[in-house]
Amino acid sequence: MTKQLTPEKVIDIVWFGVVLSFCWPLPSSSSMARIVLYRIMQICSVISACTVLLALMYSIYLHSEDILIVSECVCLFIGISQLVIQTTICMINHDSLQYVVEEMLNCVKEAQQYEKEIYNKLIAKSSIFFGSSMVCVYMTSTAFLIGPIFMPVPFPCDAEYPFRVNDTPVHVIIYVQQSIVSYQCAAHMCLSMFGALLLWFTAARFECLAIEMRQITNTNMLIVCVKKQLHLKRYAEEVVGIFRFIVLYAVGVSTFILTLCGIILLMDTPLIVKIQFIVVSFTVLTEIYIYTWPADYMKDMSIRISWSAYDISWYKQTLKMQKDLLNVLIYQKPITLSVRCIIPELSLRYYCSYLSNVFSIFTALRVVIENDSE
């Protein structure tokens, strides 16, 4: 199955997974009518999500003494708020997204054989995990929607409305709206696949450039490679700039939800509720990992370009060529996805540290709850 996946098919699959989020940018050749319609759809999705958020806030107000209902509503509230935040960020960065996506499509279309081999290597390396994650997200969303069929609840989420909802037309409208919002939330969870796709592609381009760097034989070829390196560095910074605050919000949401899940798991709650919150915990941790893995790989590949100069027969080159290569070796600052003072560097090392902190929080919560019970 993996051998049949081409870069073009992978891009199409990711597009299909995030299309309902309205965050995949339109082509630069789009007509004005299509652009206006696209903006209207984005605004409508935000308004629709906000109405569900208001209903959840009303439910929290009515059931403020029931910790389970409040916890479930808070988790849903955070999940749906992610839809609003990410749509807003993508609307603001539409032009940048359009640029990085179109350059990716052009590079994949014009790729040489050795570049295709690198793309295919990364596809084989990550396709099973990312494909399975995308399927699980939409299966979870579908199970959430059909919940009222098997459970004594009127709607998929525990939202309350300050008007009668028993009438059939009103009930159907609310159910359909929550279903649409649910699938849009799934699409926004898959937005991490979109970010991962761009990060993997950027890493692959760094790896391709490192191969070109090893084939340098004169100053002119070195100048061409350095220009490509600078262009690719700007491209990578563009990708990082787009997803920096999306990742920051995801980390913040993950931390809050994991803390809430820890409280629920340590309390005397029904088994089904604990299972639900365990699934939520794994989901948010997976979302962070989806960004972390390619970001860590991109960091390694971005610095490998400079180190690849070591593989050149520099001792056979002219003195001027050797000095130019030395200048290339001096620049060894990797491209990282970071947020100043909050996320020093999104990498696998950071992810391990994050997991360690999560378990520390769980331990602290356990001690606090046990002391309160005594």
Please tell me the distance from the alpha carbon of residue 354 to that of residue 344, in angstroms, as a whole number.
12
Classify residue 161 by its DSSP letter.
Answer: -
The token pair that represents 141 in the structure block: 């969303």
pLDDT tens digits along 230-250: 899 899 999 999 999 999 999
pLDDT at 205: 93
pLDDT tens digits along 271-300: 777 777 788 888 889 999 999 999 999 998
Asked if 128 and 2 count as a contact pair (C-beta separation under 8 A), the reply is yes
Quick one: which of 289, 340, 271, 330 has its CA closest to 306?
Answer: 330
Instruction: Phi first, then psi: give them for residue 339, nearest 5 degrees.
Output: -130, 120
pLDDT at 1: 39
pLDDT at 2: 41
pLDDT at 317: 63
Quick one: which of 163, 180, 142 has its CA closest to 47?
Answer: 180
Enumerate residue ranges in the chain where pLDDT < 70: 1-4, 309-311, 313-332, 370-374
Answer positive or negative: Cα dihedral of 61, 59, 183, 139: positive
The token pair that represents 349 in the structure block: 């090392």
What are the domain boundaries of the chain? Answer: 2-373
